[in-house]
Amino acid sequence: MSAVAAKPAAGGAMNPGAMAVGIILTLILVGICYVMSPGVGLMALIGVVIGGILIGFGTHFVPVGGAPAAMGQAPGIATGVAMLATGAGVAGLFGGAWAAETLPATMDPMMQLLIVVCAGGVGGGLMMAITCMMVNFLYVFGMGIPPASGKVANDPITGDSQAEYKSQGTEGHGLPFVSFVGGVIGGTLGGAGGTLIYFELLNLYQGALPDVMNVTAAQVLPIAVSLAGMFAVGLFLVNAVLTAYNITGTIEGPHDPKFKRWPRSIVASAVASALCGLCAVLIVVPLPI
């Protein structure tokens, strides 16, 4: 309890042994699902794992500077990475869920999946695009500060030099173009991942819950929507917080050296999503106890 001074040693190093164990663990969990609920349950779990990986990977792109960003001391958006990614992700989930509602039931399932996931992704990307644009708007027109990165000499996309636009005594400020693009990619991946989780679970619950609860398909709809939506939000938070741990809270975008830690996060998200997704699938499986 007296370890206030002990800073986390989360360096950039990978731990190959642990990652291998993580992958095996994921496969075991998927295997359990195959035994308990082959077919639709397994398909849903695979969708959840892919969705979780998309969220974990996407969160790395979101440029977040934390508290120093609010003083113009560090580049990025001045808020927490997990919650900003969640904000974009749930905005995408909102769009995706709406698209899922309005599609005709006769449509090809794969086509439905594609439309819903794209709608969710665009929703998340649009939210981040507006937010990032307004951040730069406020820095430039409200505070008279041009955007500058502290981690790279030149913007990898536009080639603009950064060092001389960095004011004295700071690490940079605002969102250089590469961070803006990163934010949009992050929002898109997060929105798509969250929507994929929601859509897979919704289909599973709509199909299986009427038998479990002995009611009609129309009656079960509000339960299925709520359950799938709640699981999507819960899984989103777990994956976003794990990624925030991975990058220790702040990142500038895809050009940041911390971005290279993404393989760790993918394995972590896969394990976490497989575990939580398995629980979500087992809700519709008759339990022995």
Partner 1 sequence: MSVKVEVIEGGVPHNTILIAGVVSTLVCIYLTYLNVVTQTEMFSFFGGLAVVAALVWGSHTIKVLCSYGIGTGVPSAGMIAFGSGVIAMLLATRVTNLLLAPVVALILAAIIGLILGWVSNNVLNMKIPAMVQALTEMAVVGALSLMGFAALITGTFGFSGLTTGTVSMFGITLLTHTNSFLGGCLIAVAFLLGAIAIQHPFNACLGPGWTQDRMLMLTAECAFLSMIVAAIMSLALISAGSALISLVIAIIGWAFTYKEYMALSKRDAHSWLDSKPIPDVEGH
Partner 2 sequence: MEHIVFGIGITALAGALATVAGSAEDTESNIGSQGDPNSQVQLAPQMGFLHRIFNKAVAGEPPAYGLWCCLGAGLAWAFMAMQFNAVLAIVLGCVFATFVQGVYATTAYVGRTASLAKFGQPVYVDILKSMTTVTMAHAFIAIFCTVTLCHLINTALGHPFPLPLLGLIWGIALGAAGSATGNPYYGKERQYQNQKFGAGVPISASGNIVRYAEAGERNSIDNGWFTAKIGGSASGICFGLIVFLELWRTVVFEAINPWYAIIVGVIMILIFTVIDRYIEVWARKTYGPYTAPKEADA
* Three-class secondary structure of residue 154 per DSSP: strand
Does position 198 interact with partner 1 (CB under 8 A)? The reply is no
Question: From the list 68, 156, 207, 249, which residue makes contact with partner 1 (rule: CB under 8 A)?
Answer: 249
DSSP H stretches of helix in 67-140: 67-70, 81-102, 109-137
Q: Which amino acid is at 49?
A: V
User: Which residues does 214 contact at the CB level (< 8 Å), separation at least 6?
Assistant: none
244 binds partner 1 (CB under 8 A): yes
Site for partner 2 contains 90 (CB under 8 A): yes
Considering the rule CB under 8 A, would residue 82 count as an interface residue with partner 1? Answer: yes
- Bin 168: left if φ > 0, else alpha if -120 < ψ < 50, else beta: beta
Q: Please identify, among the stretches 115-123, 140-148, 169-177, 222-230, the one whose residues bind partner 1 according to the rule CB under 8 A.
A: 222-230
Q: Which of 10, 21, 28, 134 binds partner 2 (CB under 8 A)?
A: 134
Q: 207, 190, 217, 196: which is closest to 112 by C-alpha?
A: 196
Binding status of residue 287 toward partner 1 by CB under 8 A: yes
How near is the Cβ of 252 to partner 2 at its closest, in Å?
14
| Helices and strands (DSSP H and E) totals, the chain | 8, 0
Place of tokens 């499986």: 285
The alpha carbon dihedral of 51, 55, 57, 62 has a sign of positive
Residues 253-282 close enough to bind partner 1 by CB under 8 A:
264-265, 267-268, 271-272, 275-276, 279-280, 282
Contact 149, 179 (CB under 8 A): yes
Question: Which residues contact partner 1 (rule: CB under 8 A)?
Answer: 1-4, 6-11, 13-15, 18-19, 21-22, 25, 80-83, 86, 213, 215, 219-220, 222-223, 226-227, 229-231, 233-238, 241-242, 244-246, 248-249, 264-265, 267-268, 271-272, 275-276, 279-280, 282-283, 287, 289
